[in-house]
């Protein structure tokens, strides 16, 4: 009954195609989606779930690793269509997901916009506008480092700050695997930190990456880059 299924969400972003890899954790009592892509991509998430034999109506929870728009953009749509789903995040990230506090990514983007050369400012403005389109959603369950759930045979929350201050990852005991969020991505067949350009605290991000590597998991499920 316990399963870990990685989804492939393929979509067009500007002039290129991109792939995101949310994970679904299945156990007897819960079906948990980890992260949920950009605003407007709920139909692609649903299609990817159906391809893997998962009925979206079976979802009981969605866990958000952090509040970047490629991880929470479709959360509002998901809750609107499936209102019984509970939203899970860290205490720190919950304030940004509910928009009790302004998105740290939007603050960063607006500051960078002021410093951009004129020829790049249109892109910067579009990026800020896309961040502003993310709708607030209340968090139902706030978790912290070490919290344990029975998802997919046993799941422990790991605090992995750096990319965002409240970022969390998941250690799955039964399969000795890790769901990294953006605490680690796959590049050239290796685990590395996510784009330093978008990492708010590089030192903490490096520490979090080391923490995940030190687990010596058999599989790392990365939102960017897939499984390794």
Contact 157, 144 (CB under 8 A): yes
Q: Could you give the CA distance from residue 101 to residue 85 in angstroms, rounded to a whole number?
A: 23
Across 54-210, the runs of DSSP E, i.e. the strands, are 61-63, 86-90, 141-143, 148-149, 155-159, 168-172, 177-181, 185-187, 190-192
pLDDT of residue 64: 98
Q: Which of 98, 100, 96, 129 is nearest to 113 (CA)?
A: 129
pLDDT of residue 205: 98
Contact 57, 49 (CB under 8 A): no
Domains and CATH numbers, the chain: 3-227 (3.60.15.10)
- 159 forms beta bridges with 168
Per-residue pLDDT tens over the stretch 127-178: 889 999 999 999 999 999 999 999 999 999 999 999 999 999 999 999 999 9
| H-run or E-run covering 206 | helix 202-214
Q: Could you give the CA distance from residue 82 to residue 65 in angstroms, rounded to a whole number?
A: 20
Per-residue pLDDT tens over the stretch 57-114: 999 999 999 999 999 999 999 999 999 999 999 999 999 999 999 999 999 999 888 7
Of all residues in the chain, the percent with pLDDT exceeding 90 is: 87
Placement of tokens 């929470």 in the chain: 72
Residue 120 predicted with pLDDT over 80: no
Q: Could you give the CA distance from residue 32 to residue 24 in angstroms, rounded to a whole number?
A: 5
Q: Could you give the CA distance from residue 9 to residue 205 in angstroms, rounded to a whole number?
A: 25
Q: Could you give the CA distance from residue 152 to residue 173 in angstroms, rounded to a whole number?
A: 8
Per-residue b/e over 72-86, b at no fewer than 16 CB within 10 Å? bbbbbbbbeebeebe
């Amino acid at each position: 009954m316990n399963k870990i299924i990685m989804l492939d969400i393929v979509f067009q972003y500007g002039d290129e195609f991109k792939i995101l890899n949310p994970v679904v954790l299945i156990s007897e009592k819960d079906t948990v989606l980890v992260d949920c892509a950009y605003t407007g991509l709920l139909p692609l998430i649903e299609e990817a779930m159906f391809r893997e034999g998962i009925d979206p109506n079976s979802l009981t929870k969605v866990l958000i690793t952090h509040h970047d728009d490629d991880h929470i953009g479709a959360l509002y749509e998901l809750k609107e269509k499936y209102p019984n789903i509970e939203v899970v995040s860290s205490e720190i990230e919950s304030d940004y997901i509910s928009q009790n506090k302004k998105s740290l990514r939007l603050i960063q983007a607006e500051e960078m916009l002021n410093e951009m050369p004129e020829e790049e400012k249109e892109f910067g403005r579009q990026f800020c506008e896309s961040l502003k389109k993310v709708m607030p959603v209340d968090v139902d369950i706030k978790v912290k480092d070490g919290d344990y759930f029975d998802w997919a045979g046993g799941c422990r929350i790991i605090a992995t700050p750096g990319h965002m201050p409240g970022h969390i990852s998941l250690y799955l005991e039964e399969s000795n695997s890790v769901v990294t969020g953006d605490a680690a991505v796959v590049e050239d067949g290796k685990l590395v930190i996510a784009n330093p350009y978008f990492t708010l605290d590089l030192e903490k991000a490096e520490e979090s990456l080391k923490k995940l590597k030190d687990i010596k998991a058999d599989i790392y499920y990365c939102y960017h880059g897939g499984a390794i």
